[in-house]
Structure 1
Amino acid sequence: MTTPPPSLRATAWAAAVTALHCAPVVSTFGPLRNRAMPRLAGRGRADHVALTFDDGPDPRSTPHFLRVLDSQGVRATFFLLGSEARRSPGLVREIAAAGHEIGVHGWLHRPLLLRGPRATHDDLARARDAIAAITGSRPTLFRPPYGVMSTAAHVAARRLGLTPVLWTCWGRDWTARATPESVHRTVVSDLRGGGTVLLHDSDCTSAPGSWRSTLGALPRILDTCRQRGYTVGPLRDHGWPGSGGSVGLRPARGNTAGH
């Protein structure tokens, strides 16, 4: 048997490593994820809907969402960017003090497929530790930017004590064409009991001002959930396999730096 030349073996090895790194991308396809990956999709108990927000905190927009949620008596899960949390630590503390759950959305909103294992670990650890330093509690939930996981992200999340969770329905609220009506319509078209809703309380990676459409749709979404008999709350109350009945923040102990 002829042995392949070193260059060919190196190419094959690189291709195999790349394929392994990118394999979790299949979870980006919502219908497949919702059917075959209920834990990653955030499927919980049938009478509950988990409400989640990404890309904050933003002092221009997040306080408006906090006021609406408070007026409705609803708590949610906020997946925060570490870089934004560092800019607005008071707002992070306000989110936590209001009883909302806080998860990690990474330090920067960049695709994890473009990052190697060490860079991925450092990004998640930096965001986790920044949030822990601000709130005094360590996050236990993680949502990747764009909802795209990689093998390195799964490994890093496990080592850092973070449970990945995506969503079962969204509002497509990040576009310039979004309106309160379109956001509400898009969410409720796929809304089912046990589902996890993705919305955005910031436009830092979306069309400028798009958060206003989300804000306008929020009361309507909550009303629809109530009309369908669903309780709305954070992932910690979702009866979701990844929650384990625990909260999304746990007390930080000692040095929270990742290893």
Structure 2
Amino acid sequence: MPPALRHATATVLAPLAAVGAAHIVPAATWLPVVRRRLPRLAGLGDPAHVALTFDDGPDPESTPRFLDALDALGVRATFFVLGDGVVRHPAVVRETFRRGHELAVHGWSHDRPWRPAPADDVRSLLRAAGAVLEATGRRPRWYRPPYGILTGGRWAAARTAGLRPVLWSVWGRDWTARATPASVRTAVTAGLHGGETVLLHDTDRMSAPGSWRATLEALPGMVDDCRTAGLSIGPLAEHAVRGV
């Protein structure tokens, strides 16, 4: 390739590579790296507290059962809801808020970011945050992207929408057909330390059919394990998320 053409090609490809890296690299940071390098993003907070979070709702069949169970346990949580579900089931969202839980944004729909789409990212997050605000009268604070894939575009969109990105540091692996109450409880509490943010699901919308039942049955044991360890449990708003 002639030097002039090589230079011109490099000039064109360099910005494209930068755009691709900005889109892909944040998504490649996963739990071990996030916990160590970005504790705020992993949701590490008050060492005497555990943040309890649920993704993918609202679900008119399963979410109310979680609300009843949490009431019985005297626990409040953060629910990361999908905007398209909020507009279909606003009464479930209002009831979740009425019972003292925190509503956060999980996106408009549970899609994967196959290619950079910064304008679409902004529009969808603004729309989802607006749906939560309309249903509850309170502006949401947190954003957790579907699949935990936080691209550069979604990070920027969250900032534009006034949302703070947060992932999780412990999960129940409760989305599979093989999940049982015992497996969910063990996944969450084995080696659990204060300051963790726990990811669970209050619906099977994006999970194996009926998988939410294992999570629901595991809740009392998980809460008991936390309290036995001297840890309080509640929403992200009470978690004092630390780090940069």
Fold conserved between structures, TM > 0.5: yes
Identify the residue that residue 112 of structure 1 maps to in structure 2.
113
Whole-angstrom CA distance in 2 between matches of 1:2 and 1:144: 44
Report Cα offsets for 1:55-107 as digits up to 9, x if no partner: 00001100110001001110000000001111110010000000000100000
2:24 to 19, 22, 28: 22
Identity %: 51
Amino acid at match of 1:48: H
- Secondary structure of 1:198's counterpart equals strand
Whole-angstrom CA distance in 1 between matches of 2:45 and 2:60: 31
Is the contact between residue 139 and residue 162 of structure 1 (CA under 8 Å) also seen in structure 2? yes
Whole-angstrom CA distance in 1 between matches of 2:12 and 2:175: 41
**Structure 1 position 160, deviation (Å):** 1.1
TM-score, with length taken from structure 1:
0.89
Identify the residue that residue 125 of structure 1 maps to in structure 2.
126
Identify the residue that residue 78 of structure 2 maps to in structure 1.
77
- Secondary structure of 2:135's counterpart equals helix
Amino acid at match of 2:21: A
Whole-angstrom CA distance in 2 between matches of 1:6 and 1:126: 41
Identify the residue that residue 188 of structure 2 maps to in structure 1.
187
In the alignment of these two chains, the number of paired residues is 241
Identify the residue that residue 251 of structure 1 maps to in structure 2.
none
**Structure 1 position 34, deviation (Å):** 1.0
**Structure 1 position 112, deviation (Å):** 3.1
Is the contact between residue 43 and residue 166 of structure 2 (CA under 8 Å) also seen in structure 1? yes
Amino acid at match of 1:136: G
Whole-angstrom CA distance in 1 between matches of 2:35 and 2:217: 27
Distance change (3 Å), C-alpha of 1:190 and 1:116: farther
- Secondary structure of 1:63's counterpart equals helix
**Structure 1 position 113, deviation (Å):** 4.8
Amino acid at match of 1:65: F
Is the contact between residue 20 and residue 151 of structure 1 (CA under 8 Å) also seen in structure 2? yes
In structure 2, the gaps of 5 or more residues are none
Amino acid at match of 1:17: V
Aligned ranges 1:9-158 → 2 under 5 Å? 9-27=11-29, 29-158=30-159
**Structure 1 position 173, deviation (Å):** 0.3
Distance change (3 Å), C-alpha of 1:194 and 1:113: farther
Whole-angstrom CA distance in 1 between matches of 2:101 and 2:69: 13
Moved more, 114-123 or 225-234: 114-123
Is the contact between residue 174 and residue 212 of structure 2 (CA under 8 Å) also seen in structure 1? yes
Whole-angstrom CA distance in 2 between matches of 1:16 and 1:190: 39
- Secondary structure of 1:51's counterpart equals strand
Q: RMSD across aligned C-alpha pairs, in angstroms?
A: 1.5
Distance change (3 Å), C-alpha of 1:169 and 1:190: farther
Distance change (3 Å), C-alpha of 1:100 and 1:26: same
Is the contact between residue 39 and residue 240 of structure 1 (CA under 8 Å) also seen in structure 2? yes
Distance change (3 Å), C-alpha of 1:117 and 1:78: same
- Secondary structure of 1:137's counterpart equals coil
Amino acid at match of 2:70: L
Whole-angstrom CA distance in 2 between matches of 1:58 and 1:141: 20
TM-score, with length taken from structure 2:
0.94
